[in-house]
Structure 1
Amino acid sequence: MKVTEKKLADGVIKLDCEATAIEVNNALKEAGEAFALSMGVRPQPGKTIEQLCQEQMGIADLDKIVETSAIEVLVPRALDRRNLVPAFPPKATPATKFERGKKFSFTLSVTVKPTYELSSYDPVEVTVQPFVFDESPIEKQMEELAANSVVYEVSDPHPLTAGDACSIAMKCMDGDEEIKALTCTDRTYILGRGFMPEGFDAEMVGMEPGQTKEFTFDAPLGMEDGEVTMKPIQCTVTVNNVQKEVTPIIDDAWVEANMPMFASVQALRDDMRRVFEAQQREAYEGYVQQIAVGKLTSRFSGRIADEIYEATRDHLVQNLRMELQQAGMTWEQFIEANGGEQQFGMMLMMQTREVLVQGFCLDAVFRHERMTLTDKDLEDACYGMNPQANPKMMRQQLEDSGRGFALRETAERLKAARFVAANAKITVAEAPAAPVAAPAAVETPAAEPAPEAAAEAAVEEPAADAKTDEN
């Protein structure tokens, strides 16, 4: 992509951008795949996304549908090309028609994120609650271990009813062919758990130990024109005995029989404690870091431009709406649960300022301390964004998509936050009101994000006038 840069007034930089035909095609592909995924259209061998959208949704021109999204795909690539960090995401203004297989020209008016200085860079002084290990996860895991290790023992004989467990011998036939997967001589079966079709359970109700019964039930064992078809299965079942569910006691004997890698139940608990304590200490470090960074924000005294404030507020609201949608909660329900429009508006205003100020303060620390980023810093930032993802792969994906500038800002702020916490003068309170393992969650947009949270941009010095970068 060719990108020419020119400084305008008030920290605004104009970018004249020209994407290649290949970049246009790739942007359409990315936007098309994202659209299809959001609409529940899944890839099929031998068919393009365009074909699938036409067949399943009647869309004749997918490119037209995703044009705006495809142009948005190109925007961060242009920013990353010039290593510019916007105060808020800029909108592209097309200069030519956007068409597959052709070059595309557009302009961006980028408001570069401003820089601020703090009133002091001395270590902050904070008071925190002491770390107290919470034992409850160990007890919960022990209970789950027992619940997942139930055994079935012979119980008093009686006619079977829904929910009963029993041992059965069974032989099932599909015509003249035996269904070996269903044939057994001693298998625990629980009526009503959905392990077999309802017709099978209906025939089992009322049977007693020692009784044999032959019957037919319908089972979903075939496919026709892509649809599941039901087939009649001939079955002979003998009830060996009625059983009862027994939850084991997790003691030394059980551990020796089932988890011989541990010498005793205490060794098992010690291993659980090691894992949970590491998790809780990591969360506690995040809590201390959050307190330290929160204290740092009192040293901020700059003025934040209205357009930056409004863009950040809109971004917070957009993210919240997406979270509510995934949780099945309406916007109106959320507002009502959080005190109504006026109270929510005040909370949103406070959170918007806190998000901005916290970020600008960390930017200032990073610059003041003349920090630089390492590969580990970038991968730590990726881990903070998504602990389940491979950090190296995530970094590659972000950089390939043109979001390297956002990743760098996240990494810079994370490194600065760790520096602030590591150098803080910390007083540990003597008696906590309750165990402290992590920052308290607030179920509103006013929830203060951890310093590791990714922002939308990074601070760098604006490039010189009229510079051009090409592939």
Structure 2
Amino acid sequence: MAIEILSDELVNDGHVMRVTVRIPAGDKASMVREGLLGLAQEARLAPGEGGEIRAALEDKFGAENVAAGLTSYVASMAAPAVVNQKNLHIMFTPQSTVERVDGLFDENALEMKIDLILRPEYELTDYSPVHVKRQSIEITDKMVSLQIAQEMERFASFEEAGGPLEVGDYAMFDMTTQVNGEEAASLSGKNSRIALVRGEMPDGFIDAVVGMMPGDERTFDFTAKLPGAPENAAPDTFNVRAKLIEKRLRRVPELTDEFVRESMKGAGVGETAESFRAAVKERMEAQLAQQQKLQDENMVDAELAKRLDANIPDLYLENTHRDILQNMQANLAAQGMTIAQYAQQQGANEQQFSMMIAMHAHESLRQGFALDAYFRHMGQEVTDADIDAALHEMTPGHEEQARANFDKNGAWFVVRETAARLKAHNDAVSKAIFE
């Protein structure tokens, strides 16, 4: 990729390098084609020729929005050549200085301005090994018993039982449900198994069906909020017609030698209840050791960050805050949730949640800059083994594909900087004094 740097200047108090680049027509066409394909995949549009994809995207999102998306993509793809030519250390995704550039679809070379946020260099007040105070935790017999009780739940069975329904029973219903006068297919059906457990089902439903016998039918109303409803939303009105098919009791088997031999054969837990208990405890201790290791490493990074001599500019805090929110939004969307719903689950309002993200962004930056300073001060260098370790950390199980991608886009500087921080982190952890 023959990207030509026409000019550069430092802006925003020297934290941003603004470069004017010239992208040859052939490279521009390739970037635009790849960008269109990427946008089409995100929009789940059927693959087609370049012109067809562009037309479909513009029809769905509008020509200006498509041009804006392509402008961002072209800027991000052209930036690695600038970083490599000028040996820069940057942070965040490079951005075009304008929302949309002209000439994306013609046959000429493209000139555009790109802003690159430079990685600042700070120092630590002290480079001696950090001291970390550990919290002593051990696996107790009570903890093992609780874990075993949870695992035995997997073997629970449901047995038909007589008598009237009681709180805590499991029941099979044929039922139809309306919510606010509208049919609710997802809450209707035949042989629907329902646990009459408070907190899992609305109290209004449980109170209405308690006392029913198999064959009984009842029609009743109650109010409750649908899952995920805003905190200040009014309750919904449910109208239910339910017929009890059968009542069931949930039975959890007792842990005995016979149960272990028959139900856990080949699981590597021995043949007795005592050997199963020992295996559970051993597994819990291994998990605790791994958690302790991660906690130790996090505490080392946090202690290093306390030594950072820096007043981080808002530019870096705002971009980190934005990146954290965007990543969180994408992850939650894959689970069918919004950030507002997640914040509500955490017991925080919008302002409190935003403050939590801001604090996380601040600490994340301080820890990263502290590792950068440590790496430079210790005179460390990135080796091929460090690159391998960084690729494994970034894309576990997909290292070869990642190599091919970095070879193609020239963004190996991302891997090198990750490798440098990882090497500094590992060295600081190995020298830390744990008390």
TM range (shorter): 0.5 to 0.7
1:107-146 to structure 2, matched below 5 A, reads: 107-133=113-139, 142-143=148-149, 145-146=151-152
Is the deviation greater in 248-257 or in 281-290? 248-257
1:370 maps to which residue? 379
- SS in structure 1 of the partner of residue 132 of structure 2: strand
2:199 maps to which residue? none
- 1:407 paired to 2:415: yes
Q: Distance in 2 between matches of 1:30 and 1:136?
A: 57
Report the Cα offset of residue 283 of structure 1. Answer: 2.3
Asked if the contact 1:151/1:245 (under 8 Å) is kept, the reply is: yes
- 1:417 paired to 2:419: no
Asked if the contact 1:31/1:73 (under 8 Å) is kept, the reply is: no
Is the deviation greater in 405-414 or in 85-94? 85-94
2:105 maps to which residue? 99
| Per-residue Cα deviation, 1:110-161 (whole angstroms, up to 9, x for no partner) | 34312222222111223221243477886676445544435577988xxxxx
- SS in structure 2 of the partner of residue 91 of structure 1: strand
Asked if the contact 1:126/1:291 (under 8 Å) is kept, the reply is: yes
2:261 maps to which residue? 256
Q: 2:308 aligns with which of 284, 300, 314?
A: 300
| Per-residue Cα deviation, 1:208-254 (whole angstroms, up to 9, x for no partner) | xxxxxxxxxxxxxxxxxxxxxxxxxxxxxxxxxx9986543343322
Q: 1:85 aligns with which of 89, 103, 106?
A: 89
Q: What's the TM-score once normalised by structure 2's chain length?
A: 0.62
| Per-residue Cα deviation, 1:270-326 (whole angstroms, up to 9, x for no partner) | 444444433332222221122222222232223434433443344445445556766
Unaligned regions of 5+ residues in structure 1, if any? 157-161, 166-189, 195-204, 207-241, 428-471
- SS in structure 1 of the partner of residue 124 of structure 2: coil
Cα-Cα RMSD: 4.9
1:358 maps to which residue? 367
- SS in structure 2 of the partner of residue 74 of structure 1: helix
Q: What's the TM-score once normalised by structure 1's chain length?
A: 0.58
Q: Distance in 1 between matches of 2:404 and 2:379?
A: 26
Kindly indicate which of the two structures has a greater share of residues assigned to helix.
Answer: 2
Report the Cα offset of residue 361 of structure 1. Answer: 1.1
Q: 1:266 to 1:19 in 2, by over 3 A?
A: farther
1:231-270 to structure 2, matched below 5 A, reads: 246-261=251-266, 262=268, 263-264=270-271, 265-270=273-278
Report the Cα offset of residue 368 of structure 1. Answer: 1.9
Asked if the contact 1:138/1:272 (under 8 Å) is kept, the reply is: yes
| Per-residue Cα deviation, 1:53-82 (whole angstroms, up to 9, x for no partner) | 839965686964742343244144335543
Q: Distance in 1 between matches of 2:328 and 2:68?
A: 25
Q: Distance in 1 between matches of 2:400 and 2:288?
A: 25
- SS in structure 2 of the partner of residue 114 of structure 1: coil
Asked if the contact 2:71/2:96 (under 8 Å) is kept, the reply is: no
1:285 maps to which residue? 293
- 1:67 paired to 2:70: yes
2:337 maps to which residue? 327
Asked if the contact 2:57/2:66 (under 8 Å) is kept, the reply is: no
1:35-46 to structure 2, matched below 5 A, reads: 35-39=39-43, 41=44, 43=46
Higher relative contact order (CA 8 A, sep 6+): 1
Q: Distance in 2 between matches of 1:77 and 1:244?
A: 64
Aligned residues: 354
| Per-residue Cα deviation, 1:405-438 (whole angstroms, up to 9, x for no partner) | 23332232222122212211221xxxxxxxxxxx
Report the Cα offset of residue 372 of structure 1. Answer: 3.0
Instruction: State, as a whole percentage, how many aligned pairs show the same letter.
Output: 23
Report the Cα offset of residue 362 of structure 1. Answer: 0.4
Q: Distance in 1 between matches of 2:34 and 2:365?
A: 31
Asked if the contact 2:9/2:18 (under 8 Å) is kept, the reply is: yes
Q: 2:56 aligns with which of 54, 57, 60?
A: 54
Q: Distance in 2 between matches of 1:133 and 1:75?
A: 54
